[in-house]
Structure formats: structure tokens, C-alpha cells
Structure 1
Amino acid sequence: MRVFRNSAAWILLQTSVIFGQLPYHALKLVISNYELMQDAFQKLCRAGYLEVVKAPGHKSFFATDAGFKTYCRMLHKEGRTPIRKKPAGTRNIQKAIRLSRINEARMFFAFLGHASYQTSLEIKREMEKKDARSSDSLKYSRFVGKIKRGKQVSLIYHFGNGNQRLNPNGESNASVWLREEDTIPCEKFILTETEKGLVDILEYSLWVRSKRSDALRHMQLNYYISYDDNAVLLPLTIGAGYFAQAFGRKDWPQMVRYLEDGARPADGIFLSTLDGRWMDVLVYLSKEHDPDVSVQLTIWDFQLPILTELHRRGLLPEGIPCDGYHISDYCNGIQPDLV
């Protein structure tokens, strides 16, 4: 198979070599034209340049030795220096799921220019240098990386297709070990492949809110939103990428407050997810409200599919007025307009 410069196949081959094993879903972040991306991916697989790992609910891929050689040959022709070593790939399903999610999160933040991003594998190696046993705290965690903004640290978790059962001890140990003396704990980011995965978390969180704490005491719980862990929820989409990019800006908190102040009505209930968190909406949905009291919801444009899915499942009443802002406007230095 001939791989041409600037072709979709060349873009996909470079991506697989640079970032390592990735879930198939990650290709949508690389090439927006799905048919073009799918055709290029199938050609690379038939040529033996990519190998696919499949299991129920999982599909990932990594560059083969032949694919790596083609990548090196192409770069040499362009007078560029390829990376020295082909990134590891695995056929073990559990390891493939974990590795591909770590790499997808790295790719997501790398495309946004987050130079401060560290993967959990890099952090694990640092921890092992200080204490051989310290990295055991990450063994059962869904933690995939962290970003810094000044002295604030945000931990990144990747939940794949949606809600997952967590090991509470593993998560607690990871949080303790990942706190640095000179940093301030900040928002936790929860990534899922699709908006549906986020709605799964929101629906499960509503169910948990309807139960007494003593009724949940002896249950193994999936992840749910709480006041103590009011995480930022992001689907792995280009639109959500703009949010992650904007989050890193110094004036981000002021911009969110400015937009919320402009959208807040004089009377009634005001709900906003402009900061990426959904606790206010969860609290509203978990209680009965007077139908005569007005409700106003303000969101970003990339969150619209989440509302659509909430409506489809009957979790969000129809007819709630909603203002949506274009997150890309803010990243491009433009005052965000209404959708």
C-alpha cells in the first residue's frame, strides 16, 4: 500500500505511532469526515500497518512493525526525524482498555496545546522512583492524567462508554498520592466517549440521590455526582475540546460569572452548566417544583446533545427555556454568542 503525504491514511498512521494504542472512537477527534476516516483506517488494516483489538464494548488499534517502518520511511523522505521507538501495543483486553484510554486522553489534551498535561503512566514512573510501592495506589484507579493551571491541579478520569464501577480504596489512595505540597486541588474531569455516557452518570446520580445513605452503605456503587465530588463532565468531542482549552485560561472563572450574570433572570430558578458541572441540574431534577415557578437553563453548545438525551429518557421536563453559548467563540477571542 502506498501512503501519500497529507492523505487521511498518513494522518491516521502518524497518530497511531505518536500516541500509541487508541480506541477506535479517538479517530473522530482526528478526522471529522467519518466516511473518509473509516476508509483510510480499513486500508491501513488491510495493508497490515494497523492491528485491531476487539472485545464486547471495546475496539482499539495500534501500529504494527510494518506500519512503524512505513512511518519512518515517510518522515525520512520529508527530511524529518521519526521517534526512536515504536510505542507499545497490547492484545490483552483489560490492558488494552486501560492503555487506549490513557492515550486517548493524552491525545485530547495534546491537540489543545496543554503542555502541562501528564499521563498516569508518567506519574506512575515518577512515583516508583521515590517509592517502589507508592504506585500501587493507581492500580485500581480510572485516573488517566492531570493538568495544571498555575498551582491548581485537575485530575483526569476516563470512563469510556459511560458509567463504571470504581474501587473506592483505589480512588482514595490515588487522590492522596497525587496531591503535591505546593499545589491546590482543583476540579476533577470525567471524560466519556459520548454524551450518552455522561447521561448514564447523571441518571445513576439521580437514583443515588433518591436513596438514604444507610441504604447504600453495603452496596458496590458506580461513580455518581455528589456535592463532595462535583466533577466537570466532558464527552470526548471537538466541542468539549474547546471547553478544556478555555478552562486553562486565566480569565475563565471571570468569563463564566459574566455570562451567568447576563443570563440570570430576575425571578425564578436559574440553572447553569457553563462551568462544566451538573450538580445544580441534578438537585433540580431530584425535587418536585411548583410548575408556576419559571426555570432558566444556560449551557454551552456542545452540551446540547446531553439535554436531548435527558429529554429522551424523560429525566428533564420539556419546555424549559434554554440559552446556549458557542464555546469556540470564547477560545477564538470573541464574545460568546447565543446558539
Structure 2
Amino acid sequence: MRIFRNSTAEYLLIISARYGQLPYRALRFLSLPYETAKDAFQKLCRAEYLEVVKAPGHKSFFLTDSGYEAYLQTMMKDDDLLDWEDFPDKPEFTRNVQKAIRLSRINEAQMFFFFLGLAPYRTSLEVKREMEQKAARSSDNLKYSRFAGVTWRGQQASLVYHFGNGNQRLNANGERNAAALFSDYKHPCGKFILTETEKGIVDVLGYSLWALNKSSRELRHMQLNYHITYEDNAILLPLTKDAGDFVWAFRHPHWPQTIQRLGEDARPEEGIFLSTLDGTWMDVLVYLSEAYTTDMPVTFAVWDIQLPILWELTRRGLLPDGWRVVSYQAGDFCRGIPPF
């Protein structure tokens, strides 16, 4: 197969070489018409430059040896001054379904933060490799951790988790050890929880609401899926192109002040006011857990990417009807236009 310069096929080879094995759905992150990307993808598969791993509920792809060679040759044509040593090694891949799910999620999270959110990022694989180089057994503390990577905003580190299409069970000790890696930073280590769809976020919220209504004694001997707590009020994000704008805005030095100002602008003169503009949902869970029977109106301040979460909460009967909303677009922050 001939790879033309600046073609969609070339673009897909570059993405595959840069990020490694990815879920098929990651093609929607690209700045290309989806049908165009799909056609080029199928041609690369027929040429055996890309290979697909399929299972119920999973489809990922990786760069083959011949695909990697085609990538190198294409890049050398673009600039004759480049040398073979200027290119990264062929990325890791696996045909094992369970390992493919894990690896493709790690790489998709990196693509989301680095490619869409323009945020500094290291994958959990890179972190573990660095630890192994520093001390032979230092990475043992991470063996049970399921974090996908880490990103930063100034001195604040945030662990990133990719839950796929629903909630996930985590090993508590492993996650504490993962957070302890970044204990030398000046601020507490936060968390980002990524899901493929907004319904996955509602799964986390619904389970968190159930756990919030249980006493510590009731939960003591139970193996729990991930649930939001006061101490671990993670940021929840769907894996969409628009959510990449949230990450970009989150890194802005004026983020805290802007969030506070937008919340104040949206606050009604009376009634209950709840804001999820900082990406967290603990205040909403507390409101729902107290089973309000008052007729006082409820107003939300949200990003437009969070609106489907409110609709799904209402559809499932977790959120009462009749709420009001003031929504903003995170992309406005990125473009530097009002209200920012």
C-alpha cells in the first residue's frame, strides 16, 4: 500500500506510532471526518499495517511490524535530514484481550490529555519503568494500582483513571500507594475519573449515592466498586473531544477564580444552588442523599458536557424533575472569549 504525504492514512500511522495500541473509538478524537478516518483505517488493516484485537465490548488496534516500517519510510520522505534514530521505538502491543483492554485504555487516556487537552502527562507504564530504573523493588507498591497515568497543574498532581463504560473495583492499598508517589508535591494529589460515556459517570454517581447512605459499619467488610467520598472528590469526565477543552481550561492559572466567578454569576436569588463547574459532584450527591422534599427550586451551574449527566440522573430517578440550569462551554475558555 502506498502512503501519500499528508493523507489520512499517514495521519493514522503517526497516531498509532505515537500513542501505541488504542481503542477503535479513539478515532473520534481526530480532527477528521469519522467516515474518512474509518475508510483509511480499513485500508491500513487490509495492507496489514494495522491489526485489530476484537472481543465482546472491545475493539482496539495496534501498529504491526510492516506498519511501523511504512511509518518510518513515510517520515523519512517528509524530511531527508532525519535519521532512523530520530524516531521512537515501535510501541508496545498485545493480542491478549484483557491486557489489550488495559493497555488501550492507558494509551487512550494519554491521547485525551496530551492530544486534546494539551496537558503534561505521563502514563502509568512510564512511571513504573522510571521507578524500576531507580530501585529494583520500588515499583512493587504499584503492582495493584489501576491508575492510567498522571497529569499536573503547577504543583498539583492528579492521578488519572480510565473506567471504560462503567464503574470499576479498585484495590484500596494499591491506590493509596499510587497517590503516595506524589506526596512530595505541595498540594494533595487529586484524581480524574474518565469513562467512555456520560452513562458511565452516572454509574459512578449512582453507586456513590448508595454508598453514601450506608454507615461505615455496613461498608466495613464489603468489597466496593469505586465511590466518591468527601476525602476523594474526584473530577469526572466523559471521553469526548469537548471534554478536552475542560482539561485545557483546568490547567489555566486563572481557573480557580474563573470557576468562582461563573458560579456567582449563575447563583439565583433564592432556592438551592449546586455547581459542578470544577468537575466534582460531591455537593450534588449530598443533596440527593438528603432526599429533599421541599418545593424550593434547584439550579445547577454546569459545563455543557455535563448536561447529559443531569439528564441521565433524572431519567434514572436519582434527580427530581423541575431543576433549572445555567450552562457554559469550556471551549469559550480556550478561545479566550466571554464569559472568560
Figure out how many residues of one structure are paired with residues of the other and give that number. 336
Distance 1:182 1:309, change over 3 A: closer
Deviation at 1:84, TM superposition (A): 4.1
Deviation at 1:106, TM superposition (A): 1.3
Q: Does 2:118 align with 1:107?
A: no
Q: Distance in 1 between matches of 2:292 and 2:271?
A: 11
In the TM superposition, what are the counterparts of 1:259-270 in structure 2 within 5 Å? 259-270=262-273
1:122-141 alignment, distance < 5 Å: 122-141=126-145
Query: Are the aligned partners of 1:326 and 1:336 in contact in 2 as well (CA < 8 Å)?
Result: no
Moved more, 29-38 or 316-325: 29-38
| AA partner of residue 97 (structure 1) | I
CA distance in 1 between counterparts of 2:54 and 2:283 reads 38
Distance 1:249 1:273 in 2: 17
SS at match of 2:190: coil
Determine the C-alpha separation between the residues in 2 that align with 1:304 and 1:12: 32
1:335 is matched with 338
Corresponding residue for residue 223 of structure 1: 226
Matches within 5 A, 1:202-217: 202-217=205-220
Which letter maps to 2:241? I
> Which SS does the other structure have where 1:132 is aligned?
coil
Kept in 1: contact 2:114–2:120 (CA 8 A): no
TM-score scaled by structure 2?
0.93
Shift of the alpha carbon at 1:321? 0.6
Partner of 1:71: 71
Q: Is the 8 A contact 1:114 1:147 kept in 2?
A: no
Q: CA RMSD in A?
A: 1.8
Q: Does 1:318 align with 2:321?
A: yes
4+ residue runs over 6 A deviation: none
Normalised to the residue count of structure 1, the TM-score between the two structures is: 0.93
1:278 corresponds in structure 2 to 281
User: Residue 299 in 1 paired to residue 302 in 2?
Assistant: yes
* Aligned residue in 2 for 1:45: 45
Measured in 2, the distance between the counterparts of 1:305 and 1:8 equals: 31
2 CA distance for matches of 1:57 and 1:209? 30
Letter in 1 for 2:143: K
Task: Tell me what 1:83 maps to.
Answer: 87
Deviation of 1:175 (Å): 1.5
Give deviations 1:241-291, integer Å, cap 9, x for gaps: 000111111100000000001111122110110000011111112222234
Is 138-147 or 33-42 further displaced after alignment?
A: 33-42
Superposition pairs of residues 54-69 of structure 1, within 5 angstroms: 54-69=54-69
Distance 1:310 1:327 in 2: 22
Contact kept in structure 2, 1:142 and 1:159, CA below 8 Å: no
Equivalent residue, structure 2, for 1:161: 165
Structure 2 letter corresponding to 1:25 = R
Cα offsets for 1:86-130 (capped at 9, x unmatched): 112111223222221111111112214646322212211221233
Q: What secondary structure, in the 3-state scheme, does the structure 2 residue paired with 1:270 have?
A: strand
